[in-house]
Chain A
Amino acid sequence: MKKKLLINIANGLLMARWKQTLVAAVGVTFSITMFIALLSFMSGMNDLLDGLIINRVPHIRIYNDIKPNAHQPITLDRNYKTAHHFISSIKSDESRQSIYNSAAIMQAIKNDKRVLGFSQKLTAQVFFNDGNIDITGSMSGVNPVEEGSLFHFDDYITSGKSQDLTKINNSVILGKGLAEKLLTNIGDVIQITTSKGERFQLKVVGIYQSGLRDIDNVQSFASVSTVQKILSKPSNYITDIQVKLKDITQAPAMAKEYEQLFQTDAEDIQTANSQFETGSSIRTLISYSVGITLLIVAGFGIYNILNMMIFEKMDSIAILKATGFSGRDVQNIFMYIAISIGVFGGLCGLLLGFGLSSIIDQIPFNTAALPTIKTFPINYNPKFYLIGMVFSFFTTYFAGWFPARKASKIDPVIIIRGK
């Protein structure tokens, strides 16, 4: 009953000044709209850019690193077990690059329930011959089916089919930059030279575009068996096993576990690509701070309008107090006004924000770097809408709190005697 009366009075004051109220609400609406649109767009863009890396990078990469042997002869000598060893001119080991006992490792990974899938890979350094020009490049031997399902390989094949790698013998998919340099297209035959001097003829079956120019200029793909043949290695020669997990956050722990278990090197995605997380978090931070700044500006708008309203309604406040409304009642009346502006403006802002993001979602966005994207990316995460609502509530609450408190402190005697 009491609450109803205060809301009733607040409503009366609001409606008497509905134009001012509307301006204040529009301020909130505008800032929430921009907040939602900005965050949806920024976060969509972030996901896209992160996806560029995360989609095609394995969560754990198992390989043999080139590094000095941890067990040098002196460490095996029992006499010097407790001593500190100084070894100079140490050299990296000439150990094999291939993963030892790769078939058994692959079987073990296959049986691990935390693993979504894996693909084998090996890399060869080759020269692409074009007349008298040799272009240095790298050739990865991949299994196109697994590569496609786990690492979105097909998304980056701009022409041709990845499956042709296994169907057609001695076939290759070239990076876009590389193909342009070699002046080749699908169906052409190119010649390569291996680091050991052997020559091979390969048929181009596809063009690959990652969006990262440096990669597109040197990268090419062939089937695993083709690359093994180029390197003159047996069919169990694998240099990398790329593992994709069900839960990416487990990658660092599992990488350590695999290192122990398989006696190889294992690198997790977080360690390999830490700079991307930094980039995303900074972009997110910037969009949040812009959004929150907008809301604070809207808060000042509400503060001003309430202050003005209190100034105009001094007489009303004085008589309410004289006839038995306490300071708290008066404060509540003005808080109701502030919060109803905030909630109304905020809800409109959420709707308009959704509308604006949908519009942005329709704007064409074609860039050579991102072959699969046709329009601006938008992330419709409900989290942004929730944050927007909570924030609009709190900014209006605080913007209203100070003027409402001022109103509650008005001394009716001064107002009434002043007349």
Chain B
Amino acid sequence: MSNTILEAKNINKYFNDPIRIQVLSDINFSVNKGEFVSLTGKSGCGKSTLLYVLSTMDTDYEGQLLIDQEEMPKRNEPFLAKIRNEKIGFVFQFHYLLNEFNVLKNVMLPGLKQNKYSEEEVEFRAIEKLKILGIEHLALKQANHVSGGEKQRVAIARALINDPHIIMGDEPTGNLDKKNSDLVFDIFKRLADEFNQTLLIVTHDPSFAARTHRIIQMEDGKIIHS
């Protein structure tokens, strides 16, 4: 069990507005190091909600969340921000790059925030990540001057900059065409196989899920298969 990265214990969540509905009921599962896990289910089954609970951004839940075998507190925003910065990388459906900065700076931002390496080292590491993703030639372009597929790859590089324990994705290929989705999937696959990177990706694309190591299937706020 020592290589468990993420563990959910008895997680329940309710939406209170307009009426109290249970959206997650008794979620128990864990993700081990190096696993490429996909979280699937129909729209509204609570898979995204679960992901945001696991991401520490949503703290309005019952139960326990352990990241790297450490229990996450619910009311310590600066501490949770630090955990997200150091241990989790995010890739969303939308790229969320800052248009004010160039590609390199966008990738560097979480690294500079972590403040573990000097600015030169962070820059070097950022270029390395861009090289892994084959987009180092874009480094000095403004973020809004690169294409949609490239933006998503920049977002993946940003997720990787602090060597996170786990990368979480919320429909990372949802906005991309077939070619770019395949490209992004191949990157994830390569990260899992070559770099032993743990990934937890929410998707409703069955072909995407089918190619991952493990599928967690949800229905009506419950895990029906994991």
Contact = CB atoms under 8 A, between A and B. Distances in A.
Interface of A: 1-2, 5, 9, 12-13, 15-16, 315-316, 318-329, 411-413, 416-417, 419
A328 B78 contact: yes
B84 interface: yes
Contacts of A15: 100
Nearest to A415: B96
30 contacts: A1-B112, A1-B115, A1-B119, A2-B113, A2-B115, A9-B98, A15-B100, A16-B100, A315-B94, A316-B100, A320-B109, A321-B81, A322-B57, A322-B92, A323-B84, A323-B85, A323-B90, A324-B82, A324-B85, A324-B110, A325-B85, A326-B78, A326-B81, A327-B78, A328-B78, A329-B81, A412-B57, A416-B94, A416-B170, A417-B52
B115 A324 contact: no
Contact of B112 (A5, A326, A413): A5
B151 interface: no
A419 B115 contact: no
Contact of B100 (A12, A324, A327): A12
Interface of A, secondary structure class, is helix
B58 interface: yes
Given A321-B81, A322-B55, 16 more contacts: A1-B112, A2-B115, A315-B94, A316-B100, A319-B98, A320-B109, A322-B92, A323-B109, A323-B110, A324-B84, A324-B86, A324-B110, A326-B77, A326-B81, A413-B57, A419-B93
Nearest to B92: A416
B58 A413 contact: yes
Contacts of B109: 5, 9, 320, 323
A323 B161 CA distance: 11
Contact of A323 (B52, B78, B93, B113): B113
Interface in B82-118: 82, 84-86, 90, 92-94, 96-101, 109-110, 112-115
A417 B100 contact: no
Contacts of A417: 48, 52
Interface string B47-76: 010001001011000000000000000000
Nearest to B108: A5
Q: Which 4 A-B pairs have the closest CB atoms?
A: A324-B85, A319-B96, A12-B100, A326-B81
Contacts of A411: 57
A12 B52 contact: no
B158 interface: yes
Q: B55, B77, B113 — which one has the most chain A CB atoms within 10 A of its CB?
A: B113
Contact of B158 (A1, A323, A329): A323
